[in-house]
Amino acid sequence: MKIYNTLTKTKEEFKPRDPAGKKVQMFVCGPTVYDHSHIGHARTYVFFDVVAKYLRYRGYKVTYLMNITDIEDRIIDRAQRDGKSVKELVRIFEKSFLEDTKALKIDSVNKYTRATGYIKQIVKQVETLLEKGHAYKIDGDGYYFDLSTFPDYGKLAHRTANQAEDAISRIDESVNKKNKGDFTLWKFSKPNEPSWKSSLGTGRPGWHIEDTAITDYHFGSQYDLHGGAVDLVFPHHEAEIAQQESASGKKPFVKYWLHPGFLTVKEQKMSKSLGNFITIKDALKNYSPETIRFMVLSNYYRSPLDYNDSVVNQSQAAVQRIAEFIQKLSLANGNNDFEISDYRRKFEEAMDDDFNTARVIALIFDLTRKVNSMLVDNSLNRNSAKKIRKFLQNINSVLGIIPAKQEKIPDSITKLIQKREELRQENNYEEADKIRAQIEDRGYQVDDTVYGSLVTKK
C-alpha cells in the first residue's frame, strides 16, 4: 500500500519499521483542551480513525497513541477568564472531547496520554538536549532549543533556513533568543500559573516537547507514523523532529508523516478564533455520526473540505441510501449470482492508494446501482445478497458510515417518493411538485441531492 509522506512529498510504499513488517506505531496530535471540539477537529480524528482501522484490516498490529495537551497558554488564559483552576478546566474539556470521539465512533486509539503525566520524561529530554549542546537557558525566562545546531530544520515543511527563521510558536517570543526561530522547551512559570519543580527550575513544558517525550517513552526514539492536520507541519512537527533527532542522534524520527487538509467554511479554516465553528455536540443534534463520517470521507483527505448545508445534507441522503439498500438485500429471492470479489479488490486498491475513501464511496454507489436493478426484477439470489451485505459490513468496519438503525419512513411516504422520482425522470415537474406538497403536508421534507432524494421528518 502507498501513503503520501509529507517528508518526501511522494506517495511511498508503506513498510513499517518492524523487521517482521507487522507492528505499526502511530501517534496523532490530540486536542488542546480549552474548549469544546468542533467538526474541523472531527475531520482530522475521523480520518486517522480510518487510517488505524484500515491498517488493522490489512493485518498490521497497530498501537495508536494520542496525547491530550492539558497545559498551554490558551488553557491558562481561559481558566483565568472563567475563574476556574487549570485542572478543573482541562478535565471538563477532556471529558467533552472523549464523549465526542465516542459519539463519532472513533474507537481505534489504544491510549490517550496527558502532557502533564509526562513531566519527568519532558525534563529528562530537555536535560539531554542541554548536555548535547542543542539547548540553552535564558535567565528569568526558560530553556530554548538552539536552531543553529540543527541544520535539517525545515526539512518537513520544505522551507529554506530563512523561512524557518520566522517560526513563532505559542510561547516563544523572548527577545533574548539566540536565533529568531528558537522555540521554548521549558518555561519558568509566572505567579498563579501551574508549575512543576524540577532540576531545570520551577516551570512548565513548551508545546512541542510533550509529544516527543511521550513517544520516546512509549515507542522509543523512532517510530512509523505521525499525523495531525496540515497546520501542524510547521512549526510543531518540524520542532518535534529537531528535538528528537538531536536528543537521540537517530534519523528519521518518524518514517511517514500524514497531514490531512482543513475543514473550511467559505474557504476559511474552521477555527475557534474565527468564530466560524460548529461544535461536534451541536452537529450531532441534527446529524448522525455516520453522516458526519461520510461527509469527511467523501473527500480526499489532503484536499480542503468546505462545509455547508448542501454537503452535509448530501451525506445524510447517501447514508440513508446505503442503509435502505442493505435493508432491500434481505428481500432477495431470485436465481442469479452477483460476483462481489471484483469489488473487494477495488476497495482494497482504493484504500491502498493513500486511503482514497472518496473512491471507495463511489464504488459503493456503483455497487448499489448494479445490484438495485437485480433487486427490482428479483433476479438476485440469497447467497449473493448475503455476500454483498458481508462486503459492506467489512467496508463499514473501516469507514463507519452505515447506521445500525435506519430512521423509519412510513411506506405511504416511500411510495410517494418513488412516484415523484418517476415523474421527475419523465420531466413531469408539475406533477412531481404536487406530490412534494403532499409529502410535506404529511410532515416530511424532501431534498434533492446527488445521491437521490433525502427524506426527513420536518
Smaller CB separation from ligand AMP, 41 or 321: 41
Q: How far is the CB of 61 from ligand AMP (least distance, A)?
A: 24
Closest approach of Cβ 35 to ligand AMP, in Å? Answer: 8
Nearer to ligand AMP, 84 or 272 (CB): 272
Residue 94 or 182 with smaller CB distance to ligand AMP: 94
- Residue 43: how many CA atoms within 13 Å on its side-chain side? 29
Give the 3-state secondary structure of residue 255.
Answer: strand
State the Cα–Cα distance between residues 262 and 306, nearest whole angstrom. Answer: 8
User: Per the structure block, which three cell numbers stand in for 123?
Assistant: 525534563
To ligand AMP, the closest distance from the beta carbon of 155 in angstroms equals: 20
For 269-278, which contacts have Cβ atoms below 8 Å and span 24 or more sequence positions? 269/40, 269/231, 270/38, 270/39, 270/40, 270/307, 271/38, 271/40, 272/35, 272/38, 277/38, 277/39, 277/40, 278/38, 278/39, 278/307
3-state secondary structure of 388: helix
CA dist., res. 278 & res. 239, Å (int): 30
Please return the burial class of 417, using the count of CB atoms within 10 Å of its CB with bins 0-12, 13-18 and 19+.
Answer: buried
Instruction: Specify the amino acid at residue 421.
Output: E
DSSP output for 19-49: TTS-EEEEEE---B-SS--BHHHHHHHHHHH
Q: Report the distance separating Cα 372 and Cα 453, nearest Å.
A: 16
Shortest spacing between CB 229 and ligand AMP, in angstroms? 3
Cell digits of residue 122: 519532558
What's the grid cell of residue 385?
445478497
Contact in structure between 225 and 254 (CB atoms under 8 Å): yes
**Looking at beta carbons, which residue is closest to ligand AMP?**
40
CB closer to ligand AMP, 41 vs 53: 41
Closer to ligand AMP at the Cβ: 7 or 323?
7
Pick between residue 134 and residue 269 the one whose CB is nearest to ligand AMP.
269
Query: Which one, 134 or 260, has the nearer CB to ligand AMP?
Result: 260
Q: How far is the CB of 32 from ligand AMP (least distance, A)?
A: 4
Cell of 283: 452537529
Q: How far is the CB of 203 from ligand AMP (least distance, A)?
A: 21
Q: Are 27 and 226 contacting, i.e. CB atoms less than 8 angstroms apart?
A: yes
Nearest approach, Cβ of residue 28 and ligand AMP (Å): 7
Comparison of 169 and 179: residue with beta carbon closer to ligand AMP: 169
Alpha helices in 287-428 (DSSP H): 289-297, 309-329, 341-352, 357-376, 382-399, 411-425
Nearer to ligand AMP, 203 or 227 (CB): 227
Ligand-binding annotation for 187, yes or no, is no
User: Cα torsion for 44, 48, 51, 56, to the nearest 10°?
Assistant: -160
Q: Cα separation of 276 and 38, whole Å?
A: 10
Q: From the CB of 243, what's the least distance to ligand AMP, in Å?
A: 18
CB of 241 to ligand AMP, least distance (A): 16
- Quote the least distance from Cβ 176 to ligand AMP, whole Å: 27
Q: Which amino acid is at 137?
A: K
Cell numbers placing 303: 484536499
**Interacting residues with ligand AMP (CB under 6 A):** 29, 31-32, 40-41, 43-44, 228-229, 231-232, 262-263, 269-271
Q: Which is nearer to ligand AMP, 80 or 276 (CB)?
A: 276
Q: Which residues are annotated as a binding site for ATP?
A: 272
Q: Which residues are annotated as a binding site?
A: 272
